[in-house]
Amino acid sequence: MKKKIMIQGTGSDVGKSVLAAALCRILKQDGLRVAPFKSQNMALNSYVTPDGREIGRAQGVQAEACGMAATVDMNPILIKPTGSMRSQIVVRGKPHMDMDASSYRDFTRKVWPILQESYHRLEQQADVIVIEGAGSPVEINLKDREIVNMRIARWLQSPVLLVGDIDRGGLFAQVVGTLELLEPEERDLIAGILINKFRGDPSLLHSGIRWLEERTGKPVLGLIPFLPDLDLEAEDSMSLDRRPVLKKNERDDRIEVAVIRHPHLSNFTDFDALEKEEDVALRYVGHPEALGSPDVVILPGSKNTVEDWLHWVRMGMAGAIQDRARQGGHIVGICGGYQMMGMELKDPLQVESRHGQVKGMELFPLHTTFLPEKRTVRVRGVLTNWGEEVWQSLRQEKVEGYEIHMGITEPISGGKSGGPLFRVAADGENPRGEGWISRDGRRWGTYLHGVFDNDGFRRAWLNQLRREKGWAPLQPSRSHAARREAAFDRLADHVRRHVDIPRLYQILDEKTSHTG
Ligand SMILES: NC(=O)CC[C@H](N)C(=O)O
């Protein structure tokens, strides 16, 4: 058996994914081949692997930390909540079926061999596997059907690091309570405790740490200070709430961007690169009163386009955005948001919602039909001739992105005003028109997630907005990819400074030799 270490938490959002990414990068820096694994992820932020499979965003990011191409084995089961207690279950990167929570219980029995197979395949490619758990391992009511925490640790006899979040308070109770509720064999697998997101003076915590070690018999292997401004996406939308609203060193010439916060918002990581630009002031907006008069309104992706759109119609947000469009504001739609911008949303088979047909925002002469087949693919492309005509200064810009959707968007026959924005293709496909752009270039939409991660495209588009406002263009900032690499290294340095890494290596060695 290969070496492995598992990270479990006392609850959600204690920092498991980020710490797993940190360990991935540390082990890679030390010359090991590392791979991440999380048997089951529940998230609406997903990632498309180079071979066109959908996995949780966090494992995609961890694979990057490992310097490895992401594969579906890193996260074989992905649960995407679609609303009203139902979820789309993605198995090995493709949608398997929609399910409610009670049928999922039986399903977990069936998928166990799939998880095992994926893990074994990963082992062939790596020296160490960094495994992540989910939520808390002691949700007593769910324990008999869980397949992501102690069930995995027991199967692999993997050492586990238990992470607690001291920032929200109650750390001692979280850790002691979690250990208390574990079965003795499970407790034996806990090799140490990590205290995460610490913001205070460490000297004040010494007595607490000693107490915790005595009380639990487990070593505290790290007290990790809160790391501000980490340029890496966390896993779930909970962390959107904690985003800092203002940037340091604010400039006056900033383009105001409002991202509409759909109830089923998916892939909000699409806007990270944009948010980091020094001339962008980006905020997430959940109420029409908070919309204001931004330069750009972005409608992001949604797991449930129709329900989210109807929500905005009811709330008055749809009208507020249409007003912005009439006043000449820029309106941009990504994936589900792009679908909303068309004339109609049709769901004859009720793939996403109970509504057969709904009117859209009517900004584009397009209609979208939701079909059972999901497209998950990475594509590359350029602007169409029409796109270049509208956006002359973006000529020759190349774009790359990934598509994750069930909907198919087509022009309405006889419709005019605007035309396809990009010509894209996946490997081995013929290029096709994709997305839409209006004649004045102020309204555009695309299926491409990650479109703003394209450094040249992002800067050229922003510069065009700057020109409109009479501001001088800016030079491209550091590339998104370089920024991410630097962020992984910064994270790894931080964790090395505050976690007993030599002890961690001992744990990896001991536990491996014991279990053979
Ligand atoms: N990623 C998305 O925004 C998906 C949009 C829509 N729910 C679809 O599947 O077509």
Query: Tens digits of per-residue pLDDT, 420-429?
Result: 999 999 999 9
Which is the closest atom of ligand 1 to the Cα of 267? 1
Place of tokens 């309106």: 331
Q: What residue's CA is closest to ligand 1, atom 5? A: 336
Q: How far apart are CA 434 and CA 445, in angstroms?
A: 9
Residues of the chain with CATH 3.40.50.300: 3-228+484-510
Ligand 1 mean position, distance from CA 504 (Å):
41
pLDDT in tens, 342-362: 999 999 999 888 899 999 999
Ligand 1 mean position, distance from CA 403 (Å):
9
pTM of the model: 0.86
Beta bridge partners of 195: 164, 223
pLDDT confidence tier of residue 413, bands split at 50, 70 and 90? confident
Which of the following is catalytic: 66, 264, 330, 335?
Answer: 335
Q: How far is CA 307 from the centre of its chain?
A: 21
Q: How far apart are CA 16 and CA 197, in angstroms?
A: 11
pLDDT for 514: 45
pLDDT confidence tier of residue 248, bands split at 50, 70 and 90? low
pLDDT in tens, 135-155: 999 999 989 889 999 999 999
Q: How far apart are CA 51 and CA 73, in angstroms?
A: 12
Which of the following is catalytic: 405, 449, 480, 498?
Answer: 449
Q: In testing the pocket of ligand 1, which one of 262, 373, 404 has its CB within 8 Å of the most ligand atoms?
A: 404
pLDDT for 324: 96
pLDDT confidence tier of residue 406, bands split at 50, 70 and 90? very high
* C-beta of residue 64 within 8 angstroms of C-beta of residue 453: no
pLDDT averaged over every residue in the chain: 93
Ligand 1 mean position, distance from CA 465 (Å):
27
Q: How far apart are CA 498 and CA 10, in angstroms?
A: 20
Which is the closest atom of ligand 1 to the Cα of 370? 10
For residue 364, the SS3 value is: coil
Q: What residue's CA is closest to ligand 1, atom 8? A: 405
66 is catalytic: no
pLDDT for 247: 56
Residues of the chain with CATH 3.40.50.880: 244-468
Q: How far is CA 375 from CA 30, 95, 132, 153, 395, in A?
A: 38, 10, 27, 33, 28
pLDDT for 86: 85
Q: How far apart are CA 11 and CA 138, in angstroms?
A: 9
Fold of domain 244-468: Rossmann fold (3.40.50)
Nearest alpha-carbon partner for 401 in 468, 457, 358: 457
| φ and ψ at residue 234, rounded to 5 degrees | -85, 180
Ligand 1 mean position, distance from CA 417 (Å):
24
**Phi/psi-derived region of residue 305, left when phi > 0, alpha when psi is between -120 and 50, beta in every other case:** alpha
Ligand 1 mean position, distance from CA 269 (Å):
15
449 is catalytic: yes
Q: Does domain 3-228+484-510 have CATH number 3.40.50.720?
A: no
List all residues whose CB is within 6 A of at least one atom of ligand 1. 266-267, 301-303, 305, 335-336, 352, 404-407
ipTM field: 0.96
* C-beta of residue 162 within 8 angstroms of C-beta of residue 190: yes
